[in-house]
Chain A
């Protein structure tokens, strides 16, 4: 475990830096949104809930892009100072997990504190949040693996996939918003959750596992190019 400590230290530091950037991003866009809807007299609670919602989706987008950046920036750096690929991969997993976890907790706490009907509805979507975060980490990992193995040529594919996934995320966020406003609408429940919510959670976790396994398999033997 001792050699792995270095990776924990390094990737935690890096993760915190990115979390800060993420918070600032979400704050900025919430601010923009608040400006545009100020005429309707939003309460502080609504803004908080809105911010929490934004945070999750921006984290998801960051989760798609960050791994590729990591692959090009941190992997070569750490590997060139004698880390093993396995440890570096695990360290990066820790860092990205930490990032999503912090974003999730902040969003959760804000929603609990806000106590609006909107935020209460959002709380029932917690499994969806989890699913989205895991899923985005999985896709991001997959993209990173492709870029790491095939090099910069894969960047173009990555940008296309990003756009595609961004579109899907946008679409589902809108449709889920409709769902949360009609919170009494239920079809089937599984473990007390709407079936569709449950499937999203499961799908997210599955994508995470598959995506990251492929990522590892693709970078298992990469050479350091700095």
Chain B
């Protein structure tokens, strides 16, 4: 069991004149399953590739157990970043057959578990003789998942692992993930767009909005302070006085808002409005969605 933290300090990333990541401080503690959610273009993949030294940061440092991660093989040996494979790049590593890709991964990851890889190939029914660039989105996701799980790296980061997978396969992945976590206590960071399915897996949720860290919190505690209040517009406003509201929806005289309570704030008991719990997905849409 490891007790080493992957920490980002003041990460800024600029492409030309455009700053895509603004001063991000993030600390990934060991033995937890993290969920990273954010809209397309929020900077999730950029942040994850900076955290794993696959992309240089414009400013700021990333350390693992206090050591800088950049060009540091000792630190990198503990990390696995399994990223979305791009089907459009025909010339490049995606020209390889899946089995060659996996064989190379086996050479480079120090804790590679070939038995697990073989079993996952069978369970996912993956045709490893196919070239990566010729695979469907779902099959490419399977390759990503197999590499991530078989790497047995202390910190394993998966970028959109379930893209293109059908619901049965997604369920298989979640179960494999939990089995592995139960056995090894590895740290997992999973970025996904299919929030509601995976929300229950995440011990902590990290939300990235427009290149900034919006929040990083224990999922349970976050959801316990989120509520959806709906009813007559005036009643809703009365209840929400002094609270920060998000994502207001109006139809006629009725109004619905989502609130996130700060510590010390409570909702007044009021029978005239409906107070409902909010799912992680709905909370995310409320916080990061387009304002109506």
Contact = CB atoms under 8 A, between A and B. Distances in A.
A223 interface: yes
Contacts of B210: none
Size range of the chain A interface in the assembly: 20 to 34
Contacts of A85: 71
Interface string B40-52: 0000000001001
Contact of B104 (A77, A224, A225, A226): A77
A9 B54 contact: no
B113 to A, nearest CB: 15
Contacts of A86: 71
Interface string A62-97: 000000000011101111111111110000000000
Contacts of B76: 82-84
B95 interface: yes
Contacts, number: 73
Interface in B155-211: none
Contact of A73 (B49, B80, B93): B93
Interface string B104-115: 110111100000
A223 B55 contact: yes
Interface string B87-105: 0010111111000010011
A10 interface: yes
Nearest to A69: B91
Contact of A83 (B55, B80, B95, B108): B108
B89 to A, nearest CB: 7
A80 B159 CA distance: 13
A3 interface: yes
A223 B104 contact: no
Contacts of A76: 92-93
A6 interface: yes
A83 B105 CA distance: 11
A86 B72 CA distance: 10
Contacts of A78: 104, 108
A81 B105 contact: yes
Given A223-B56, A224-B55, A82 B85 contact: no
Interface of B: 49, 52-56, 71-74, 76-77, 79-81, 83, 85-86, 89, 91-96, 101, 104-105, 107-110, 147
Interface of A: 3, 6, 9-10, 72-74, 76-87, 221, 223-226
Return the 5 tightest CB-CB contacts between A and B, nearest first: A77-B93, A223-B55, A224-B54, A82-B76, A81-B108
